[in-house]
Structure 1
Amino acid sequence: MLARNLPASQTTEKVVENCPIVMGFDLKYARAGFTVMQSVLETTPDAQFCAFNVLHDGLPDFAQRLGHLLFDGPRSSITFIDVRPHFDHLELFETRHLSRAMYYRLLIPILFRNAQAVIYLDSDMVCRRNIFAMVDALPPGACLGAVRDNISRGDRARGAMMRDVMDHGPEDMLELSLADYKRDVVGLDNPDRYFNSGMVFFRPSEITDSDVQACFDLCHAPRYCPDQDILNTIFGDRTHLLPERWNYVLTFPETVGLIPDDWMRHHREEEEHAAILHWPGPRKPWRDPSVPQAEVFLEMGRRLDERLQEVAPEFFKDVLPAS
């Protein structure tokens, strides 16, 4: 089992320069997003500066002010970037369980062109170890670093059809098996290389303007997991697959239980080394404390609350309600 206590920062670890951390969320996920940032600060060396950036489409001013109070300081900064000018003219494929925010990570190579590297994190994660350590794990020439998707592999193992997993789409797409969808629509010769986009390590210097344009050219097209599928389509063969510890998924255990034996051995070996815990899907730890390792996220949420009480006493829970 994963250790219940969060590891202390290791002051002897190398400091990484010019590597911003990017997230994208609305008010509904602001508390969760700030919790993720708190976990980054608590698990990185004291000498490591954390430059947080939030991509949004109209996050209320009071939430932004709280973010500045929480994360503008000697060890970190926070910048809020309104991305509406980049998306207002675009036709985006959306369904009832997907939001526009998922597309925001596609802007990272443009907005952070001069960064050595960029780490993107979803809001349903918590960091348990220094995430900047992954910088050395990416070989030269790789555009992205990401972790292969156990949930997708389990769904393929059970013979899932697109009609089972997708709200709506073209009839010919819904008739495909998930395995055929990965090959014929996403365009992967080897569907086992399909990666999860909850944590993505970007190397902007390796990504061209034509790569970015190719991503946005696909934003209107029906896809099961649009941003994730688009990144797999454009960068699939230029993505370095990182160890599972950098995006350790804790939900959908029945599906993950169907992955091949060699995948399962790796999954179990990585458990004790997990640096980033991830709860994709509807069962979030702040909504359902019965999900695996929910207490790790909830404990970090309590630590965030302590800081919120300092910067916004008496009404901090009303300002950022858990959703």
Structure 2
Amino acid sequence: MASNSNSTIHVACCFDRNYELPFIVLANSIRRASSRHVVLHALHEGPLDLAPRELRDAPGLTVNFIDVTDRYGRFNTHGPQTTVTYARLSLPDILEGVERVLYLDTDMLVMRDIAPLYFSDLGECALGAVIDYGLLIRLLRDEPLPVEGATTLICDYLRDTIRLSNPHRYFNAGALLIDLEKFRSLGIAQRAREALSNELSRAIFNDQDALNFAVAGAFVELDPRWNAIQDILFKEVHQRLPAEIEAVVDLYKEPWIMHYAGVKPWRSNILPGPWERQFWQAAQEANVEWPLLWAFWRAIPYLRPYQIDSYLWEARNRGPQIGTATVLMWAMKHFMRR
């Protein structure tokens, strides 16, 4: 797909009220970083409180709010995700007339103009995505599935259940560049839904598993910086990473899209993650810093001593950059009891 300076960029997100505030942060980061006009298709389930008002007059950004309640196929979910995650499988139907869309999870932060990503050449493929390096680390270490009591190795799960001939070609579905016309013609969404009703009825990674099953490794591998997962950096701290991942971590020094998969900045019960400062600065710029802090104040029932030292250090050294009130409120939410 050739680049066109006059072309509009289409982005889509799927969320419910639980992620309305992070969606506002993401939307503002897209607007701030984009060089072209962006139409953001907000596929939400149920009514929204703040987003329509906060994003109404955002320059360079048009938000198309679409209530998808009862407009997508629901399946069982594993883990903390709600069923609205499956709404992304209905993007080809809901965005009729749109040729290409960039799907982004709402726990992301855009740090660079997404135009180079949006106009990437997909060749004959319907999808562009980034390898799930967090899962690849577990795969290279011959670890079992990351579920309680699991004994099945990830390698076996990807080969036997997801049916990937090359398990290293498993992608993360948090950022997907989709050619909707090819996606429709190849019946990828339908194949994913059928799998979820049959052999993937107990999928560990929900629609991500289903999409990997349906695509079967036929996707364009995108630069890891377009879906840089913070969780990998936590793994780097505690364990030595496989050599194959070290080059990816080196690229993470300048991430283009930060993905807070795993521990969320607004629900963090541990020392601040490496990219939490950027998130709270973005939340402040989007005017939802305080609502986010108050909405998730019940993260843990007590504050550990080392966390007090961490927050005091942040307030003293980083307060001028991200707002001392932010740091103190961040600490305060840990004092609160259920």
Secondary structure of 2:207's aligned partner: helix
Aligned to 2:110: 127
Which of 63, 66, 72 does residue 50 from structure 2 map onto?
63
Q: Distance in 1 between matches of 2:7 and 2:94?
A: 17
Segments of 5+ residues of structure 2 without an aligned counterpart are 297-338
Aligned to 1:171: none
Secondary structure of 2:125's aligned partner: coil
For 1:296, give the aligned amino acid: Q
Aligned to 1:276: 257
Q: Distance in 1 between matches of 2:6 and 2:82?
A: 32
Distance 1:39 1:16, change over 3 A: farther
Say whether the 8 Å CA contact 1:147–1:247 is kept in structure 2. yes
Displacement, 1:223?
0.6
Aligned to 1:77: 62
Q: Distance in 2 between matches of 1:258 and 1:228?
A: 27
State the TM-score, normalized to the length of structure 2. Answer: 0.77
Distance 1:91 1:294, change over 3 A: closer
Aligned residues: 286
For 1:284, give the aligned amino acid: K
Q: Distance in 2 between matches of 1:263 and 1:96?
A: 26
Secondary structure of 2:63's aligned partner: strand
For 1:55, give the aligned amino acid: L
Q: Distance in 2 between matches of 1:225 and 1:115?
A: 27
Which of 242, 245, 253 does residue 260 from structure 1 map onto?
242
Say whether the 8 Å CA contact 1:18–1:117 is kept in structure 2. no
Q: Distance in 1 between matches of 2:52 and 2:294?
A: 15
Aligned to 1:49: 37
Aligned to 2:275: 293
Distance 1:36 1:156, change over 3 A: same
Percent identity between the aligned chains?
23
Displacement, 1:50?
1.1
Q: Please tell me whether residue 20 in structure 1 is matched to residue 10 in structure 2.
A: yes
Q: Which has the higher contact order (CA 8 A, sep 6+)?
A: 1
The higher radius of gyration belongs to 2
Q: Please tell me whether residue 192 in structure 1 is matched to residue 161 in structure 2.
A: no
Report 1:163-182 matches (<5 A): 165-166=146-147, 174-182=150-158
Which of 206, 212, 225 does residue 182 from structure 2 map onto?
206
Q: Name which of structure 1's ranges 72-81 and 191-200 shifts more when overlaid on structure 2.
A: 72-81
Say whether the 8 Å CA contact 1:21–1:50 is kept in structure 2. yes
Say whether the 8 Å CA contact 1:19–1:115 is kept in structure 2. no
Aligned to 2:323: none
- CA RMSD between the two structures: 2.5
Secondary structure of 2:266's aligned partner: coil
Say whether the 8 Å CA contact 1:72–1:78 is kept in structure 2. no
Q: Distance in 1 between matches of 2:167 and 2:62?
A: 39
Which whole-Å deviations, capped at 9, do the CAs of 1:303-323 have from their partners, x for residues lacking one? 011xx6xxxxxxx95699543
Displacement, 1:211?
2.1
